[in-house]
Structure 1
């Protein structure tokens, strides 16, 4: 038990640094298990530490953003693991997304310890209920992440002692899905629909149903996913935020569209991230940034404002390729000629924004999540804007996909059009809703948010969408006139079905003793 006390004390040191006087309750070496699990303030900090273990897209900024292992993005650092993935040059010893497994099980252990200790904690019934609900939700969340990346996993639902069997085999996929769903349903029965302001960021009923919806959609249970989405909608707690372009700005943290997010700089996570430092163009930072960059492939996915593709619309002008686009394009991508933060962005190769050394290989930079008020010239400043993990637009799209698969095309059209209206795009007329239109809408609405890879796996389109050439845009100036030329950046590899799951890291496999080996994903043996 002392090892858990030690872990908790480290958490307290990390999470309570700005709570002046908090640690005056007693010297750190005087905390005992009895003190910890009988003090609701300490347990709240323990739970906050579990939230901080969530690995969000913002935590991955400057490294392995999910966008850069799909057709959405290209990383401009050859040493990043995303480059190994894109070229098919990885295996179990590479450790791709190893932190999802190792950090995930660390957090799962904390959830199990929390559930065990709460059985005898002297707290009110209401507080006990909320804490147990959070523990079940968080355990489900971390198992979901492991399942999404690696497939079936060993199910551990209690704190393991020295006398317990530690070499636990992987369960079946069906057992894993049932276990996660059960945890989410239990959490939903315990958690409130909404927390008071002081508890903003904690899991709610809506977050439970939303995660259940995502899980069941990705496992092709369309009716189950639709039912979960309907529960989120029926709560009437969420609305589409009216202004897409400022949806992700820090001034709009915790807005009406957010169902669940990772809170930075709050009680739930006194962490910071470095997304703005790593992803801003070079001329704004003064150092090597702009690491994960949008591709021409994703730029081409943004329709013209008449709702037609760029290559069939009369609105497209090759001399002004970025005019008359879906308004979400201007909120998601930094392109040549955009007016951004007081200047016109020049993305010619060799410019201040796109230097020859570590500029953007695609001719674009990410814009969607950047804090447009962030001042970082030549210095690294703490980033505290929240990372949205689940929002209502995804639930609408999930629901629409389910309805299409279930044959309810007009119901799907209704929810897709809600998102298009918010975006300022023309609605899809009655009788014209198609699967391709749905995919187009999902692609641009959720661009760069970390779900594209899982969407492509669900649709079994890896070779077609990931294993194809990646393109960028080259900007030239001839006689004072700017010209734009599509150019191939990279030929990518996607071997199906092997690459739909990542290999379990070798370090994890090696922890199992001979005769009790952890089963590797079959194609990666």
Structure 2
């Protein structure tokens, strides 16, 4: 009787759920499989639980963000894995990104279970179709994450039980890519371009399928098919560039017109949240050791001056005021010395309240791009609820431009790069002046810190030239009231190509395979 009453209450809640409540994890452990797979509300919670397993940059809060494994950032904690990677002091036993393998396979098993159970679930055809589409999309997303970090993976299409063979070998890279593409293409036939019910906001759509397909094919250097996938996204006419770059990631603009797919936070019942604001705000705002991942001078230098020229070529550059007259996206992405932020002028000289001698910023900068500028840092019970954007139209435009450049269609590429620059408030690139270097810089600053840098560097085969170079910071000194800014090398980094384009499969994963059926390690990581 108690279970029956609870089910009624739960069903009523689901029918009146707010916009983000479909991500509710819910107490599914209270019910048997027989109960769960006959109740659409409980299955909806099961699907929501799969969404909650998506690993985003926000979920890495308190650890090294992806930026700190590239030239974009430096983590100010010596014990974090990014430090081991940047110095080349890691191996299979270090367990770098082990959660990407283990957690994603946990989520993949849930997708497989959902697909199997839906075959006999007594639901309407439309609900069956949507849930199947979501399962295929999410499975593709989880496999894409594994592939981006480790390369080829064991393809598992069913929910393995205790008595099943667990030693599935790695497929070839081609087989893995084709499997992901098949899932995305299948999902696109089952999912809508848009949900009419606002309560479904955040679910997978056709556009999300095409967008991930575009990203995957671009990283595989398949420019014609990647361009075609980008066109599929654009032809849906569901997305536009959000007009204000600086507020695009603020919680008040969650689910804006540029977002193709994101991870939703804020379900009141599941309490799903993240801690990015707590860990990335400057220390003078938090009162504890925060600012874990800090932008480098390398990435700051990538932002052009307002005339479209690099800092070391523009007459607008003033070494006494190095942040004046810059690409407006710098002001939206990086916190720097002298910046007015939340009513305070940041003083980032070493030993200040914002940059203390211990666990301050080693680079002279803090991350700004994703910070909720309305977040109440003094209320410890205040959750971080701004959504994590996984893919947006700005990336699709840049993907399309890269494809066109590689295929020799320079003017077509220029058109889409200029769309990004106009939104940013930067001068357009004139006809006949589009170059690869200009494209690469544009992508670098537009997508800074969004988690795609390492994939970009791998695709361009520039690991030693970009990630393997020294990283720099800005040292601020004050003498007689005059501030001086000095570029200073923070550390030398190691990148041994091609070995370091992929991470070694964790030893704990390898040890689960029985003798004679060992999982093959990535090249040169044995």
Displacement, 1:165? 2.0
Q: Shift of residue 33 of structure 1?
A: 1.7
Instruction: Quote the residue 2:205 is aligned against.
Output: 204
Superimposed CA distance per residue, residues 350-404 of structure 1 (whole angstroms, 9 cap, x where no aligned partner)? 1110011110000000000000011113846310100000000000000000000
- Does the Cα contact within 8 Å between 1:194 and 1:204 map onto a contact in 2? yes
Structural mapping, 1:219-230, within 5 Å: 219-230=220-231
Aligned length: 508
Q: Say whether 1:293 aligns with 2:294.
A: yes
What value does the CA root-mean-square deviation take over the aligned residues?
2.0
Question: 1:115 deviation in Å?
Answer: 0.2
Give 1:450's aligned residue: 451
What secondary structure, in the 3-state scheme, does the structure 2 residue paired with 1:524 have?
coil
| 1:98-113 equivalent positions in 2, closer than 5 A | 98-113=98-113
- TM-score normalised by structure 1 residue count: 0.94
Aligned to 1:52: 52
Q: Is the CA contact 1:286–1:378 (under 8 Å) kept in the aligned structure 2?
A: no
**Residue matched to 1:168:** 168
- Which residue in the other structure is 2:182 paired with? 182
Distance 1:30 1:443, change over 3 A: closer
Look up the SS of the partner of 2:74 in the other structure. strand
- CA 1:267–1:373 in structure 2 vs 1: closer, same or farther (change >3 Å)? closer
Q: Deviations over 1:195-239 (max 9, x none)?
A: 120110000000000000000101111111101000000000000
Q: Which residue of 2 aligns with 1:344?
A: 345
Are positions 1:430 and 2:431 aligned together?
Answer: yes
Aligned mates of 1:59, 1:160 — CA distance in 2: 27
Query: Structure 1 residue 290: deviation in Å?
Result: 0.5
- Residue 490 (structure 1) aligns with: 491
Please list the CA deviations of residues 227-258 of structure 1 after superposition, one character each: whole Å capped at 9, or x if unmatched.
Answer: 10000000000000000000000000000000
Q: 1:79-94 alignment to 2 at 5 Å?
A: 79-94=79-94
Match of 1:412 in 2: 413
Secondary structure (helix, strand or coil) at the match of 2:92 reads coil
TM-aligned CA distance change 1:29 to 1:290, over 3 Å: closer
Asked if the contact 2:28–2:42 (Cα under 8 Å) also holds between the matched residues in 1, the reply is: no
Give the distance between the partners of 1:267 and 1:225, measured in 2 at CA.
38
Residue 346 of structure 1 aligns to a residue whose secondary structure is coil
Consecutive unaligned residues of structure 1, counting only runs of 5 or more, are 1-8
Q: Contact conserved, 2:208 with 2:260, CA < 8 A, in 1?
A: yes
- Aligned counterparts of 1:226 and 1:284: Cα–Cα separation in 2: 44
Structure 2 CA distance for aligned equivalents of residues 224 and 82 of structure 1: 34
Between 158-167 and 507-516, the greater mean CA deviation after superposition: 158-167
Distance 2:317 2:362 in 1: 24
Output aligned runs, 1:107-186, within 5 Å.
107-186=107-186
**Paired residues of 1:473 and 1:487 also in contact (CA < 8 A):** yes
Q: Distance in 2 between matches of 1:121 and 1:398?
A: 40
Q: What is the CA-CA distance between 1:267 and the residue it aligns to?
A: 8.1
Q: Which residue of 1 aligns with 2:422?
A: 421
1:317 aligns with 2:318: yes
SS at match of 1:177: helix
Question: Match of 1:513?
Answer: 514
User: Measured at CA, do residues 433 and 473 of structure 1 come closer, stay the same or move farther in structure 2, by a change above 3 Å?
Assistant: same
User: Any conservation in 1 of the 2:17–2:199 contact (CA below 8 Å)?
Assistant: no
Q: How far does the alpha carbon of each residue in 1:259-288 deviate from its partner, in whole angstroms, 9 at most, with x for none?
A: 000001138974110000000000000110
Mapped partners of 1:398, 1:61: distance in 2:
27
- Offset at 1:19? 7.7
Note if contact 2:28-2:46 (Cα within 8 Å) is conserved in structure 1.
no
TM-score normalized by structure 2?
0.94
SS in 1 for 2:314: coil
Secondary structure at the counterpart of residue 426 of structure 1: coil
Q: Give the conservation status (yes or no) of the 8 Å contact 1:49–1:269.
A: no
| 1:523 alignment partner in structure 2 | 524
Q: Provide the secondary structure at the position in 1 that maps to 2:319.
A: coil
**SS, match of residue 391 in structure 2:** strand
Contact residue 64 and residue 80 of structure 1 kept, 8 A? yes
Q: Quick one: distance in 2 between partners of 1:269 and 1:133? A: 23
Task: Determine whether 1:367 maps to 2:357.
Answer: no
**Matches of 1:140 and 1:226, distance apart in 2:** 19
Match of 2:249 in 1: 248
1:42 equivalenced with 2:6 (yes/no): no
Corresponding residue number in structure 2 for 1:463: 464
The DSSP-based 3-state class of the residue aligned with 1:316 is coil
Separation in 1, partners of 2:40, 2:137: 19
5+ residue gaps, structure 2: 1-6
> In 2 relative to 1, CA 29–49 (structure 1 residues): closer, same or farther, beyond 3 Å?
closer
CA deviation string 1:493-515 (max 9, x = no partner): 00000000000000000000000
Cα distance in 2 between the residues matched to 1:168 and 1:190 = 29
Q: Who is 2:395 aligned against? A: 394
Quickly say closer, same or farther: Cα 1:153–1:341, change in 2 above 3 A: same
Is 1:194 the equivalent of 2:194? yes
Determine the structure 1 residue equivalent to 2:219. Answer: 218
Task: Look up the SS of the partner of 1:523 in the other structure.
Answer: coil
For residues 279 and 30 of structure 2, the distance between their equivalents in structure 1, rounded to whole angstroms, comes to 41
The 3-state SS of whatever aligns with 2:362 is coil
Distance of 1:225 and 1:308 partners within structure 2? 30
User: In the alignment, is the contact (CA less than 8 A) between 1:295 and 1:364 conserved in 2?
Assistant: yes
Query: Compared with structure 1, are the counterparts of its residues 162 and 373 closer, same or farther at alpha carbon in structure 2 (3 Å cutoff)?
Result: closer
